[in-house]
Chains A and B, each alone.
Chain A
Amino acid sequence: MSGIPTGPDGGADARPLVIRNLRKEYRAGAPVLSDISLTIASKGITAIVGPSGTGKSTLIRCINRLVDPTAGEILFDGQDLARLRGRELRAARRHIGMVFQEYNLVERLSVIENVLCGRLGYLPTWRAWLRRFPATEIERAFQLLDRVGLNGFATERADRLSGGQRQRVGVARALMQEPRLILADEPTSSLDPKTSVEIMELIAVEAGARNIPVIVNIHNVNLARRFADRIVGMRNGRIVFDGPPERLAESHLLEIYGGEGWLE
Chain B
Amino acid sequence: MTSISTSTSGLGAAATAPQPNGVAPIAVDIRSVSKEFGHGAAHTVALRDATLQIREQEFVCLVGASGCGKTTLLNLIAGLDKPSSGVIETGDRRVALMFQEANLFPWLTLDQNVELALKLRGIDKPKRRARVAELLELLRLDGRGKKRPHELSGGMRQRGALARVLAQDAEIVLMDEPFGALDAMTRDSMHDELERIRREVEMTVVFVTHNVREAVRLSDRTILMESGPGRVKSEHLIDLPRPRHMEDPQVAERAGALTDELKDEVRRHVR
Chains A and B form a bound pair: no
* B interface residues, Cβ below 8 angstroms from A: none
